[in-house]
Amino acid sequence: MNASFEYTTTLEYRLKAANAQICAFKSGEIYVRMQEEYLKELRSLEREIRKLKDELSRARSETVSVRNQWFEIFEELQKECERKLSALRKELERMERRAIKAERQRDAALDKATRQRHKIYGLETALEEEKGRNLKLRAQINRDYENSSIPSSKTLRRKKISNGREKSGRKPGAQPGHPGHGRKKQIPATDPVPLPPPREVLEDPDFKKTSKTIVKQLVNIRTILEVTEYRADVYYNSKTGERIHAEFPPGVVDEVNYGGSVKAFLFLLNNDCCTSIDKSRKFLSDLTDGRLSISKGMVNKLGREFAKKTEQERKATFADLLLSPVLHTDCTNARENGKNAYVFVCAAPDGKAMYFARRKKGHEGVKGTPVEDYQGILVHDHEKTFYNYGAQHQECLAHVLRYLKDSIDNEADRTWNKEMRALVQEMIHYRNGLPEEAPPDTEKVREYEERCRAILQKAKEEYEYIPASEYYKDGYNLYLRMEEYMSNHLLFLHDHRVPATNNEAERLLRGYKRKQQQAVSFRGFESIEYLCECMSMLIQIRQNEESNLYNRVSGIFG
- pLDDT score at 22: 80
Spatial separation of the C-alpha atoms in residues 515 and 15, rounded to whole Å: 137
Query: Which of 343, 339, 355, 357 minimizes the C-alpha distance to 523?
Result: 339
Residues across the chain: 558
pLDDT number for residue 147: 59
**How many CA atoms are closer than 13 Å to the CA of 524, on its beta-carbon side?**
6
- C-alpha pair distances (Å), 132 with each of 141, 252, 403: 14, 70, 19
Close Cβ partners of 251 (under 8 Å, ≥ 6 residues apart): 257, 259, 558
522 burial (CB, 10 Å; 0-12 / 13-18 / 19+) is buried
The C-alpha atoms of residue 20 and residue 14 are separated, in whole angstroms, by: 10
Output the pLDDT for position 347.
94
The three-state secondary structure class of 344 is strand
160 in helix, strand or coil?
A: coil
- pLDDT, residue 161, reads 61
Q: Strands, DSSP E only, in 47-111? A: none
Q: How far is CA 86 from CA 76, 78, 182, 450, in A?
A: 15, 12, 122, 83
Residue pLDDT tens, the chain, 558 long:
567 788 888 888 888 888 877 887 777 777 777 788 888 888 888 888 888 888 888 888 888 888 888 888 888 888 889 899 899 999 999 999 999 999 899 888 888 888 888 888 777 777 777 777 776 777 667 666 665 666 666 665 566 666 667 777 788 777 887 887 788 888 888 889 988 888 888 888 888 888 899 999 998 888 888 899 999 988 888 888 899 988 988 888 888 888 889 999 999 999 888 888 899 999 989 988 888 888 888 888 999 999 999 999 999 999 999 999 999 999 999 988 888 999 999 999 998 999 999 999 999 999 999 999 999 999 999 888 999 999 999 999 999 999 999 888 888 888 999 999 999 999 999 998 888 777 888 899 999 999 999 999 999 999 998 888 888 888 899 999 999 999 999 999 998 899 999 999 999 998 888 888 887 778 889 999 999 999 999 999 998 877 789 899 999 988
Q: What is the pTM of this model?
A: 0.71
> How many CB atoms are closer than 10 A to CB 539?
19
Looking at residue 181, its pLDDT comes to 78
Give me the pLDDT at residue 466, please.
87
What DSSP assignment string belongs to 230-293?
A: -----EE-TTT--EE-PPPPTT--SSS---HHHHHHHHIIIIIS---HHHHHHHHHHHTTT---
Where b means 16+ CB within 10 Å and e means fewer, 135-154 reads: bbeebeebbbeebbeeeeee
Cβ neighbourhood burial of 86 (10 Å; 0-12, 13-18, 19+): exposed
